[in-house]
Amino acid sequence: MIALADCNNFYASCERVFRPRLNGKPVVVLSNNDGCVIARSNEAKALGIKMGEPAFKNRYIFEKYGVHIFSTNLALYGDFSDRVMSILSSNVPEIEIYSIDEAFLNLEGIPNKDHFSFELRENVLKWTGIPLSIGVAPTKVLSKMANSIAKNKSENNIYILEHTDSINRHLKEFSISKIWGIGWQLTKKLNSMGIYNAYQLTRKSDSWIQKHMTITGLRLVKELRGEPCLELKKK
């Protein structure tokens, strides 16, 4: 089983660590020139502030709701990332650091993955102040999906996706556009062929998938079916 550990609203969470009074309040982080929104707390998202939008378009919202605004501090975020990844790597047999705030974890040999994930999340929060969402599944692509469920639908930000019936149910609810590795152009193409969710895609034959999505797409779909094709990349 593979877990994807993802720091929640990472840049905004880093800014909150030294300012606990901001917990529960809207926070945004702007790009280097303070031009665009590149991170939002959940409270800021609820106000309708969109990722990547120019800051000037949100000035009215910022002022009306008292949004707390920060400029990017990459040195700070890098330091927190190193701390989080160090804790994660010390608790699993293998890790792939995917980005500054995400890592795939190999949970092979770990018996109670639900309890382990809960303890890992609590330890990272206790030692760094950064909240995590953890999704666990048989493959990397499914762990991405499980992480999305953990972040948006789970009370404790942890979700284990492992049984066939459960996987298929969520595949039917998961739109093509949300699948890791499928961009908007491929989404548009698949939609034009009547494929709108991940389950519909997994029902297509291997030859059809390779013809329309290449060998890379075939690996992705096999991962959605629960067949591991993408190994963890060690750095």
Q: Which two tokens stand for residue 214?
A: 């290449």
To the query of whether residue 122 is one of the catalytic residues in this protein, the response is no
Angstrom distance (rounded) from CA 176 to CA 185: 11
- Per DSSP, the residues of 148-199 read HHHHHH-TTSEEE--SHHHHHHHHHHSBGGGSTT--HHHHHHHHHTT--BHH
Nearest Cα residue to 89 out of 43, 63, 140, 123? 123
* CA 171/CA 166 separation, integer angstroms: 9
Tabulate helix, strand, coil % of the chain (nearest 5): 50, 20, 30
Whether 128 contacts 145, CB under 8 Å = no
Taking alpha carbons only, the member of 28, 7, 29, 38 closest to residue 129 is 7
Catalytic residue among 102, 119, 122, 223: 102
Q: Are 170 and 145 in contact (CB under 8 A)?
A: yes
Residues 4, 148 contacting (CB under 8 angstroms): no
User: Which residues are catalytically annotated?
Assistant: 102
